[in-house]
Amino acid sequence: MRHGLVIVNTGNGKGKSTAAFGTLLRAWGRGMRLCVIQFIKAETSNYGEIQAARKLGIEWHSRGDGFTWLSKDLDKTAARAREAWALAQEKIASNAYDIIVLDEMTYALKYGWIDVNEMIAWLREHKPPELHLIITGRDAPDALIEYADLVTEMREIKHPYARGIKAQPGIEF
């Protein structure tokens, strides 16, 4: 029997979501059933990874309203994050997937939109034992780090933005 892992990619460096999507690509090659739920990216997003997922038949849901620091209505942003968590609960409990990515979920935990202890209690009770769950985002709470089976911290050492190089298609989005 497969042991479903809870994997957390956190830290201030780039690559948290990219690592999760790389794992998805590997799993897709193995014929696994996959789902992504994005907590921050807007429903209208059309980034390269979303375009690839459509072509590959990977189920993908973007439930945010864009970058939280640009939100004009944080109550609405918080409500959308809670809606994303409700969708995640439905998908997790369905036992219809081998891997589910909860992309940028840690922001909803950090801002208190979703209570981390309630989330972990729910996962303990409802996450199928074979399901791999990947959670990404900066500032993963200590309780989530303790609960997870695998935690990787991405640390920024050098970044092209510091030299004025802007985000590029195929690299950042």
* 48-75 per-position pLDDT tens digit: 999 999 999 999 999 988 766 666 777 8
Residues 36 and 53: their CA atoms lie apart, in Å, by: 9
Angstrom CA distances, 61 to 49, 58, 85, 172, stand at 12, 10, 11, 19
Q: Supply the pLDDT for residue 146.
A: 98
173 within a domain of the structure (yes/no)? no
34 within a domain of the structure (yes/no)? yes
171 within a domain of the structure (yes/no)? no
123 within a domain of the structure (yes/no)? yes
* 116-149 per-position pLDDT tens digit: 999 999 999 999 999 999 999 999 999 999 999 9
Residues 10 and 13: their CA atoms lie apart, in Å, by: 8
57 within a domain of the structure (yes/no)? yes
pTM, entire model: 0.94
Which range marks the domain in which residue 66 is found? 6-154
What are the two backbone dihedrals, phi and then psi, of residue 147, each rounded to the nearest 5 degrees? Answer: -70, -35
Give the Cβ contact number of residue 90 at 10 Å. Answer: 11
* Residues written for the chain: 173
Name the token pair of 7: 């994997």
Count of the separate structural domains present in the chain: 1
165 within a domain of the structure (yes/no)? no
Q: Supply the pLDDT for residue 70.
A: 64
The continuous run of DSSP H or E covering 40 comes out as strand 34-42
* 69-113 per-position pLDDT tens digit: 666 777 888 999 999 999 999 999 999 999 999 999 999 999 999
Kindly compute the dihedral angle of the four CA atoms of residues 12, 88, 97, 142, in this order, to the nearest 10 degrees: 40
Q: What is the CATH number of the domain that holds 69?
A: 3.40.50.300
56 within a domain of the structure (yes/no)? yes
**Residue the block writes with tokens 């997922």:** 53
Residues 63 and 60: their CA atoms lie apart, in Å, by: 10
42 within a domain of the structure (yes/no)? yes
